[in-house]
Structure 1
Amino acid sequence: MRNLSAQIQGRRRARPATDVDRAALIEFLVLRGHTLGLIADTQSAAAEADSFVIDQPNSAHAHVARAHTLATFHRFSDANEHFERALSLGADTDSVHSEQAALLEAIGDYDRAEPLRRAAFTKNNGFAATAGLAAHHAARGDLETAESHYDRARELFRGLSPFPLATLDFHRGHLWLSAGEHERAAEWFTRSVRRLPEYLPAQGHLAAAEVCLGNTDSAITRLRHAVTVSDDPEYAGQLAQLLIHSDSEEARMLREGADARYEQLLRSHPEAFADHAAALWLSDNSDPERVLQLARLNYRIRPTQRAADLLRQAIDAVCPRAASERVERHAY
């Protein structure tokens, strides 16, 4: 992590920079922002990418970087436009197609994503393509096939950086958490944080698995650390829900902070935070109409099964009768 921060600082000082250096700075900021739960880093990366495209409108590197930051904030359609522009400017086809496959999976369009994943795997069945195919099958709920590809990806990895394997283990844990297999999820999240202890998404998801397994004290400890490091309100919201019965005053302060932060983020990045804000506010039914508004937005952006489930719960909170029959009608 110190090396990553040094790389960021070095590239920020190197002005004017080459296109490759500017693209690297943006990728490093996105990586650090994701790892440490720092939305400020991701916003900084987005600002850099905006400037990059303005300064170098005919640079494939600029459009790929801009696409990455847009995708991070769930602006998937806009991101794809920049990937297409990058392709027209000579960007590496295999690399961009892999990125486009991830966009399609994020919105639940698995049928269009699959040929892109399989083409990459057929051309070069190394770590990245194998991990991508694993992620694809995990998104489709094909757990057995996903597990097989995850195993193979780990065998193929030959790098020195901890980030790829920590991320791989995190996604593997997420697969099992979504399936309700909390012990298996905790196993992979634990592997992820042992490899990269600063990896807050893995720490937060491990806390969620621990709560399901009855290890609430450990989960609280993890989340208390996360709240001190991250500017993402998800961790404060999680912790507030765990503390509501044991320390109501701390829980109240955490919840108020999370609510205020979500309001701030929804003004600037509604697509990226609609789902998490809705899930938090749904937990105590504090503002069902607002939750329904956010759940509808989330479903429009990414009509996945998870988004449909959130929308169904939101509809049920507003009008309990026959909510499951109303998801399609209320989605748009």
Structure 2
Amino acid sequence: MNVATNPVEAIRTTHATIALSHLDGQIDGLERFAAHGEMEDRAWVALVDLITLRAQILGRIADYERASLLAEQRAEVAPGDRLAFLCRARSRASLHRFAEAMTDLEHAAELGQTGREIEVDKAAVLQAVGRYAEALSIRRRIADDFGDFEAAAGLASLYADIGDTDAAEQWFDESRLRYRSVSPFALAQLEFQRGHMWMALDPEQARPWLLAAWQRLPCFAQAEGHLAEVEEALGDCNAAIARLERLAAESDDPDFAAELARVLWNAGRHSESARWRTYAEKRYDTLIAWAPAAFADHGARFWLSVGGEPGRALALARLNLEVRDTPKARRLFDAAMAACGSFATKGSA
């Protein structure tokens, strides 16, 4: 990427405040219809999708909880509705309940759900659990058949997960060329994925894309949180702390508090770090009890670093590896194993 080019200026989208207000309005309207029993089958899918989108953008765990509740209830009251199982599959996948999500997708297919929609969801689950060859076959077929933004973006995300940055960059560029919407959400998520791909490899490469995602959507909590990580890696600790303090105070996602505790500790601000560490620990305990698969990797990273309990980290890393056998999950498990070995060695010294 030419860093002199501002990605936000290159593709103009609706102002973030207007877009978020519209998203809230759509959700509120559908919630009212649902409360009065006036929802069509497709509208239930739309409602769960929109609430999940808001959860992803705002870093709002309560929205994940709401989407899960609605999806589970809909599948129970409409056991013959294929869209109910498609809806529940997406909700379960968002909480890393991948095996259950795939079962729901297979059931939706048995009930008659066909076409691109279910194939995309299958590819997403296969990709999430590390079955990359199968996911790639589906995503390539979709790209050949449709050739739109979503198809190109799917290939970009998959190549990023595989670690093929050259192919990923090609498809990230291609997907941007194919963007036809004025909504900022999908494009900001694409920019975030591109920045996230580069974080461990080259923070300088990651920064402009994470910054673009955040500038396009200043409410995009994950984009700003990862931008803070990159800023710390590049030596701007004060900027990172400022971002994380606001995010940790506003979000019910403990990842921001955990990251803030780590950065503060590294900066020598130990008493402040301890306060955020305590909050993150309590919050992770609550969330792991509710959705263990969804927060196993987050919790493992916390207890492996500033949480300071490698034994707890190892148990969660093992669970995460059981849920999805990916290179990232294996690296986390190996790090937890090494930390436990180092801890045991120190303890016996």
Give the corresponding residue for 1:11.
30
Superimposed CA distance per residue, residues 83-129 of structure 1 (whole angstroms, 9 cap, x where no aligned partner)? 11122223242111111111111111111111101110111111111
Instruction: Measure, in 1, the Cα distance between the counterparts of 2:21 and 2:340.
Output: 48
1:320 offset after TM fit, Å? 4.1
Tell me which amino acid in the other structure corresponds to 2:107: R
Q: Which amino acid aligns with 2:101?
A: A
**Alignment-derived partner of residue 238 in structure 2:** 217
Secondary structure of 2:199's counterpart equals helix
Alignment check: 8 A CA contact 2:172 2:190 kept: yes
Q: Does 1:240 align with 2:261?
A: yes
Q: Kindly indicate whether the alpha-carbon contact (under 8 Å) linking 2:262 and 2:306 is maintained by their aligned counterparts in 1.
A: no
Q: Is 1:28 matched up with 2:47?
A: no
Q: What is the DSSP-based 3-state SS (H/G/I as helix, E as strand, rest coil) of the residue aligned with 1:243?
A: helix
- Please point out which of 90, 95, 99 is paired with 2:117: 95
* AA of the residue aligned to 1:287: E
1:327 maps to none
2:102 corresponding residue in structure 1:
80
Mind listing any 5+ residue stretches in structure 1 that lack a counterpart? 322-332
- Counterpart Cα distance in 2 of 1:208 and 1:285: 17
The aligned residue for residue 261 of structure 1 is 283
Cα separation, 1, equivalents of 2:307 and 2:23: 41
**Normalised by the size of structure 2, how large is the TM-score?**
0.89
Amino acid corresponding to residue 341 of structure 2 in structure 1: C
- 2:9 corresponds in structure 1 to none
Residue 280, structure 1, aligned to residue 299, structure 2: no
Aligned equivalents of 1:249 and 1:18: distance in 2?
53
CA distance in 1 between counterparts of 2:62 and 2:208 reads: 30
Contact kept? 2:123, 2:138, Cα under 8 Å: yes
Aligned residues of 1:285 and 1:317 also touching (Cα < 8 A): no
SS at match of 1:108: coil
Q: Which residue of 1 aligns with 2:209?
A: 188
Query: Given residue 88 of structure 2, which amino acid in structure 1 is its aligned partner?
Result: R
Q: Does the 8 A contact of 1:211 with 1:219 survive in 2?
A: yes
1:238-290, Cα deviation, whole Å (9 max, x unpaired): 00111124433322111100000001111111111111111111114722222
Are residues 1:202 and 2:223 paired? yes
In 2, Cα distance between equivalents of 1:48 and 1:302:
25
How far apart, in 2, do the equivalents of 1:229 and 1:100 lie? 34
Cα-to-partner distance string for 1:18-50 (whole Å, 9 max, x where unaligned): 112222111111011111111110111000001
The answer for the alignment partner of 1:228 in structure 2 is 249
Deviations 1:133-168 (A, max 9, x none): 111111111111110111011011111110010000
**Deviation of 1:217 (Å):** 1.1
Q: Distance in 1 between matches of 2:282 and 2:73?
A: 29
Greater relative CO, 1 or 2 (CA 8 Å, sep 6+): 2
RMSD: 1.4
Instruction: Identify the residue that residue 5 of structure 2 maps to in structure 1.
Output: none
Rounded to whole Å, the distance in 1 between the matches of 2:117 and 2:44 is 18
Q: Would you say the 8 A contact 2:277–2:306 is kept in 1?
A: no
- Aligned-pair distance for 1:6? 1.3
Q: Quick one: distance in 1 between partners of 2:205 and 2:114?
A: 37
The amino acid of 2:180's aligned partner reads R
Q: How does 1:131-146 map to 2 (within 5 A)?
A: 131-146=153-168
Q: Distance in 2 between matches of 1:285 and 1:157?
A: 42
Unaligned runs of 5+ in 2: 1-19, 344-349
Note if 1:2 corresponds to 2:24: no
Q: Deviations over 1:212-259 (max 9, x none)?
A: 111111111111121122111000000011112443332211110000
Residue aligning to 2:346 = none
| Offset, 1:317 | 1.7
Number of residues of Structure 1 aligned to a counterpart in Structure 2: 320
Q: In the aligned structure 1, how far is the partner of 2:179 from the partner of 2:142?
A: 17
For residues 174-211 of structure 1, the C-alpha deviation after alignment (integer angstroms, 9 at most, x for no partner) is 11113x21011011001111111101111111111111
